[in-house]
């Protein structure tokens, strides 16, 4: 799902640490062209957008409302509305960001319409929204994160609110900027998104540091035993 | 580590790196060798965070939604070009409308009786189903919608033949030229396309087939879903999305390759693409695209190949563009073109 990804090892010293896998600057102009083509009614641009983003959108939607059919409808309507109003669409820098903003808005609009259904139900169970797992990269050359640390990250995430978890996933996993996160989550100020993410990071950070201190303390104890 | 995690630019390095970002962080690491471990821990923390349940559309849902969206767009496009406005209010008097309604119902009833009687005799006369052929002349394009909901976009100089009604077992069609298929899903009746020696069998998917008599290769490029391809020798190949099968007619061999979807489907958006084309290929393509007759009167062979892209341009613009690049001259008289150098 996270398509633009790279990894690098630290076994070799020097300049080849950071290897080029993709050029996202080019990607960005490419996306602008695609969006433009789409506005002019191109079928291949539509198919590009669908292929690249439909599953990401579906996943994101399901994190908000755990109902496949409901989210499928939202995503399909989103695409159809885009096609219907394509001539009036503005320019975008990131197609993905535009789609996320629109989808989230659409989901909440639709939820409001179908009041009897949901709303309370999802409000009542925020613990299942945007659940986070901490799992290692497959091709990691050097493993710094031990299983213990990953557990700690997950524990810390569980203590976050659903909104904080959403913000963290949008920021860490989807790679959106603070400004984009604020826009997607409908927060008026970028600062709100920043504060929310800072708090979440602090929680992660302190749990990791605590773990290190604990380990150090245990080593000390063992040392004393031998004295 | 907190500083790094808070830094958007650091997140960019991990999620959407570009040259600048990489360069910056490389320099940063050289300047702060003591923070290497912290850097690495931060990177892995970010990378380890994932959705606990990562949801995906099933392949069926994925295809189905795409077809619905495309059909929706097609309808919208066609309505826009034909300029009909179905919302317009009907201003005819009531009795006329009533008469029309009665007439409509009558037709329906007669039609239904006719159909039923035809259905009864279907089993006997299955082989007698008439085939229909749609021919698209050079210089035009056309969309055909079949009874089962399949949508076929035909490129210039192509034709498709299909039975008036599909039988209960299969949906056979015959293609000459190039077409993009959005095949409606029907698990029980495979959709079978014959193109020369090659037979392509699908259940529901979208893909491009290209086979012109004068060309050496048959190309089948799959966008979504799955297709099964059989050649005359009985070989069977399975294509996955984003794979293209290239069949050579003279050697009866085939190979698989990837393809650039934009390039393969560009013609549907009226984009004329040349990819390392020879003079001969340019001639064939222009003849089909614009419905003209081209004579090559070359005193010496044109060196090299031509690549270029034209968005909905008139013939003269294209000829000019090729002329600049390849050093040829042309003259146009009605629909006859002479190319010289």
CATH number, domain at B291? Answer: 3.55.50.30
Per-residue model confidence as pLDDT tens digits over A162-193: 899 999 999 999 999 999 999 999 998 889 99
Do A125 and A153 lie in one domain? The reply is no
A40 vs A4, higher pLDDT = A40
Domain-embedded: residue B127: no
Residue B25: list chain A partners with CB under 8 A. 18
Cβ-based neighbours of A144, under 8 Å, separated by 6 or more: B37, B40, B41, B44
Q: Quick one: which H or E segment has residue B262?
A: helix B261-265
Same domain, B191 and B222: yes
Q: Say yes or no to pLDDT of A211 above 80.
A: no
Q: Same domain for B259 and B283?
A: no
pLDDT for B279-332, tens place per residue? 888 998 898 888 889 998 888 888 788 888 888 888 988 998 888 888 888 998
Query: Which domain-ending residue is among B211, B234, B263?
Result: B263
Cα–Cα distance, B19 to A23 (Å, whole number) = 7
**Nearest-neighbour CA in chain B from A180: distance (Å):** 11
High-pLDDT (> 90) share of chain A, %: 33
Q: Which of A75, A134, A177 sits opposite B8 (nearest CB)?
A: A177
Contact between B163 and B184 under an 8 Å Cβ cutoff? The reply is: no
Q: Which domain holds residue A56?
A: 22-129
For B191, the token pair is 């959709």
Q: Which of residues 127-146 of A touch B (CB under 8 A)?
A: 130-137, 140, 142, 144-145
pLDDT of A139: 45
CA distance B322 to B258: 27
Tell whether A57 and A81 lie within a shared domain. yes
Residues B144 and B213 in one domain: yes
The domain that holds A116 is classified in CATH as 1.10.1740.10
- The answer for A41, left when phi > 0, alpha when psi is -120 to 50, beta otherwise, is left
Predicted-complex ipTM score: 0.77
Same domain, A190 and A117: no
Share of residues in chain A with pLDDT > 70 (%): 69
pLDDT for position A11? 33
Residues of A whose CB is below 8 A from B223: 47, 51
Residues 190-219 of chain A whose Cβ lies under 8 A from any Cβ of chain B: 197-198, 201-202, 204-205, 208
Report the residue of chain B nearest A27, measured CA to CA: B18
Domain-ending residue, one of A129, A156, A173: A129
Nearest chain B CA: its distance from A226 CA (Å): 31
Question: B187 and B289 share a domain?
Answer: no
Q: What integer is the mean pLDDT of A40-66?
A: 91
User: For chain A, what is the domain count?
Assistant: 2
Residues of A in contact with B15 (CB under 8 A): 2, 4-5, 172-175
Rounded to whole angstroms, the Cα distance separating A48 from B69 reads 13
Q: How far is the C-alpha of A78 from the C-alpha of A54, rounded, in Å?
A: 10
Q: How many other C-beta atoms lie within 10 A of the C-beta of residue B163?
A: 17
Q: Does A37 touch chain B (CB under 8 A)?
A: yes
3-state secondary structure of A31: helix
pLDDT at A171: 94
Q: How far is the alpha carbon of A219 from chain B, nearest alpha carbon, in Å?
A: 21
Residues B166 and B249 in one domain: yes
**Closest residue to A80, CB basis, from B8, B72, B223:** B72
Please indicate, yes or no, whether residues A157 and A104 belong to a single structural domain of this protein: no
How many Å separate Cα A2 from the centre of its chain? Answer: 9
| Residue, of A39 and B119, whose pLDDT is higher | A39
What is the model's pLDDT at position A22?
40
Q: Is residue B169 part of a domain?
A: yes
pLDDT for the residue numbered B123: 41
Same domain, A151 and A105: no
Packing angle of the helix pair A68-84, A95-113 (nearest 10 deg) = 120
Provide the domain count of chain B: 3
Q: How distant is the Cα of B21 from the closest Cα of chain A, in angstroms? A: 10
Query: Is pLDDT larger for residue A113 or for residue B323?
Result: B323
Comparing CB atoms, the residue among B16, B223, B261 nearest residue A4 is B16
What is the C-alpha separation between B208 and B259, in angstroms, rounded?
A: 11
Average pLDDT in the A53-61 region? 95
- Long-range contacts from A73-76, C-beta under 8 angstroms, 24+ separation: A73/A110, A74/A103, A74/A106, A74/A107, A74/A110, A75/A103, A75/B65, A76/B65, A76/B68, A76/B69
* Lowest-confidence segment of A17-26, B19-28, B89-98, B282-291 by average pLDDT: A17-26
- End-to-end, the C-alpha distance of chain A in Å comes to 53
Q: Extract the tokens encoding B229.
A: 């391809």
Domain edge (last residue) among A105, A129, A153: A129
For residue A164, give the CATH number of its domain. 1.10.10.10
Helix (H, G, I), strand (E, B) or coil at B306: strand
Residue A227 lies inside a defined structural domain of this protein: yes
pLDDT over 80 at A225, yes or no: no
Q: What is the pLDDT of residue A38?
A: 93
Instruction: Give the residue, B38 or A78, on which the prediction is more confident.
Output: A78
A214 confidence band (pLDDT: 50, 70, 90): low
Q: Does A163 touch chain B (CB under 8 A)?
A: no
The answer to whether residue B179 is domain-embedded is: yes
Least confident of A32-36, A165-169, B115-119, B252-256: B115-119
CATH number for B222: 2.60.120.1440
A26/A125 same-domain check: yes
pLDDT in tens, B59-113: 889 988 998 998 899 888 888 776 554 444 455 566 667 777 777 776 666 666 5
* Global pTM value: 0.52
Q: Is the dihedral of CA A177, A178, A179, A183 positive or negative?
A: positive
- Please check whether residues A167 and A71 belong to one and the same domain: no
Shared domain for B205 and B142, answered yes or no, is: yes
pLDDT 10s digits, B168-227: 888 999 999 999 888 888 878 889 999 888 888 887 777 888 888 878 888 898 888 788
Which chain A residues are within 8 Å of B44, Cβ to Cβ? 136-137, 140, 144-145
CA–CA distance, A28 with A85 (Å, rounded to integer):
23
Does B122 or A161 have the greater pLDDT score?
Answer: A161
Contact B45 A145 (CB under 8 A): yes
- Tell me whether residue B168 is in a domain: yes
Question: Does residue A15 lie in a domain region?
Answer: no
**B55 domain residue, yes or no:** no
Q: Are B289 and B249 in contact (CB under 8 A)?
A: no
pLDDT tier at A226 (50, 70, 90 boundaries)?
Answer: low
Interface of A with B in 53-82 (CB under 8 A): 54-55, 58-59, 62-63, 68, 72, 75-76, 79-80
Residue from B37, B39, B57, B151 to probe the interface with A (highest A Cβ count within 10 Å): B57
Q: Tell which phi-psi region holds residue A119, choosing left (phi > 0), alpha (psi between -120 and 50) or beta.
A: left
Residue A215 clears pLDDT 70, i.e. is over it: no
Whether residue A87 is found in the same domain as residue A29:
yes
Residue B232 has pLDDT above 60, yes or no: yes
Cβ–Cβ below 8 Å for A42 and B269: yes
- Asked whether residue A117 falls in the same domain as residue A172, the answer is no
| B123-158 tens-digit pLDDT | 444 456 788 888 888 888 888 888 888 889 898 888
Residue ending a domain, among A96, A129, A162, is: A129
Looking at the structure, tell me whether residues B195 and B289 fall in a common domain. Answer: no
Average pLDDT over residues B220-241: 83
Residue B227 lies in a domain: yes
Looking at the structure, do residues A120 and A148 belong to the same domain, yes or no? no
Task: Return the pLDDT at B139.
Answer: 81
- Flag whether B165 is in a domain: yes
Query: Domain check: are B243 and B284 in the same one?
Result: no
Name residues whose C-beta falls within 8 Å of residue B67's C-beta, 6 or more positions apart in sequence. B182, B184, B185, B204, B206
Give pLDDT, residue A4.
37
Residue B310 CB-half CA count within 13 A: 19
> What was the pLDDT predicted at B112?
63
Distance of CA B284 to CAs B32, B124, B248, Å? 62, 45, 18
Coil, strand or helix: which one is B336? strand
pLDDT above 70 for A65: yes
Both B205 and B180 in a single domain? yes
pLDDT computed for residue A101 by the predictor: 95
Tell me the CA distances in angstroms from B234 to B197, B229, B237, one per residue in order. 10, 10, 10
Reduced to 3 states (helix: H, G, I; strand: E, B; else coil), residue A164 is: helix
Q: Are B48 and A137 within 8 A, CB to CB?
A: yes
CA distance B169 to B172: 10
**Are residues B286 and B229 both part of a single domain?**
no
Tell me, yes or no, whether A98 and A64 share the same domain.
Answer: yes
Q: What is the largest CA-CA distance in chain B?
A: 91
- Whether A3 has a pLDDT exceeding 50, the answer reads no
C-alpha A188/C-alpha B128 separation (Å) is 68
Distance of CA A80 to the CA centre of its chain: 24
Residue-level pLDDT at B125: 41
Residue A105's alpha-carbon distances to A41, A85, A108, A165, B200, in angstroms, are 24, 17, 5, 18, 43
Answer yes or no: is A148 within a domain: yes
Asked whether residue B195 falls in the same domain as residue B258, the answer is yes
In a domain, B53, yes or no: no
Task: Name B195's bridge partners.
Answer: B198
Name the residue range of residue B160's domain. 132-263
CB-nearest partner of B48 from A76, A153, A205: A153
Is there a contact between A133 and B66 if contact means CB atoms under 8 Å apart?
A: no
Domain boundary residue among B232, B263, B294? B263
Whether B282 and B326 share a structural domain: yes
Question: Which range is most confident: A97-106, A148-157, B312-321?
Answer: A97-106
């Amino acid at each position: 799902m996270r398509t633009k990804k790279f990894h690098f090892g630290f076994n070799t010293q020097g300049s080849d640490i950071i290897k080029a896998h993709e050029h996202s600057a080019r990607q960005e102009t490419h996306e602008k062209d695609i969006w433009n083509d789409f506005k002019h009614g191109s079928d291949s641009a539509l198919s590009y957008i669908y292929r690249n983003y439909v599953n990401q959108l579906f996943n994101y939607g399901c994190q908000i409302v755990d109902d496949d059919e409901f989210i499928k409808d939202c995503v399909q309507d989103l695409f159809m509305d885009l096609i219907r109003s394509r001539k009036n669409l503005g320019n975008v820098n990131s197609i993905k960001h535009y789609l996320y903003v629109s989808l989230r808005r659409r989901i909440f609009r639709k939820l409001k319409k179908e009041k009897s259904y949901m709303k309370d139900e999802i409000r009542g169970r925020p613990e299942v929204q945007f659940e986070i797992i901490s799992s290692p990269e497959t091709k990691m050359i050097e493993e710094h994160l031990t299983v213990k640390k990953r557990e700690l990250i997950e524990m810390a995430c569980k203590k976050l609110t659903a909104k904080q978890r959403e913000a963290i996933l949008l920021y860490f996993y989807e790679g959106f900027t603070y400004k984009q996160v604020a826009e997607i989550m409908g927060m008026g100020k970028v600062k709100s998104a920043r504060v929310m993410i800072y708090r979440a990071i602090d929680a992660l950070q302190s749990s990791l540091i605590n773990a290190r201190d604990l380990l150090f303390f245990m080593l000390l104890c063992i040392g004393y035993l031998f004295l | 580590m907190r500083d790094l995690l808070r830094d958007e630019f650091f997140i960019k390095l991990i999620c959407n790196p570009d040259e600048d970002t990489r360069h910056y962080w490389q320099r940063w690491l050289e300047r702060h060798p003591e923070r290497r471990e912290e850097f690495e821990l931060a990177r892995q923390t970010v990378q380890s965070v994932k959705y606990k349940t990562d949801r995906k559309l099933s392949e069926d849902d994925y295809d189905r939604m795409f077809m619905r969206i495309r059909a929706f767009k097609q309808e919208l496009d066609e309505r826009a070009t034909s300029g009909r406005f179905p919302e317009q209010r009907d201003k005819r008097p009531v009795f006329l409308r009533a008469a029309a309604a009665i007439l409509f119902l009558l037709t329906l009833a007669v039609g239904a009786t006719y159909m039923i009687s035809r259905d009864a005799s279907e089993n006997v006369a299955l082989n007698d189903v008439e085939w229909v052929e749609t021919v698209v002349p050079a210089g035009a394009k056309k969309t055909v919608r079949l009874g089962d909901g399949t949508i076929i976009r035909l490129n210039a100089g192509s034709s498709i033949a299909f039975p008036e009604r599909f039988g209960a077992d299969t949906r056979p069609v015959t293609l000459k030229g190039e077409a993009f298929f959005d095949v409606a899903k029907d698990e029980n009746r495979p959709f079978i396309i014959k193109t020369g020696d090659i037979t392509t069998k699908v259940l529901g998917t979208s893909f491009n087939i290209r086979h012109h008599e004068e060309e050496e290769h048959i190309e089948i490029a799959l966008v979504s879903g799955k297709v099964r391809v059989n050649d005359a020798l009985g070989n069977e190949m399975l294509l996955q999305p984003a794979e293209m099968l290239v069949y050579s007619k003279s050697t009866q061999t085939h190979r698989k390759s990837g393809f650039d979807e934009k390039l393969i489907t560009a013609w549907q958006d009226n984009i004329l693409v040349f990819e390392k084309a020879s003079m001969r290929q340019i001639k064939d393509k222009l003849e089909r695209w614009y419905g003209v007759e081209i004579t090559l009167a070359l005193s010496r062979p044109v060196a090299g190949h031509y690549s270029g892209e034209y968005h909905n341009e008139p013939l003269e613009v294209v000829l000019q563009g090729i002329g600049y690049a390849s050093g040829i001259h042309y003259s146009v008289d009605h629909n006859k073109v002479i190319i010289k150098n």
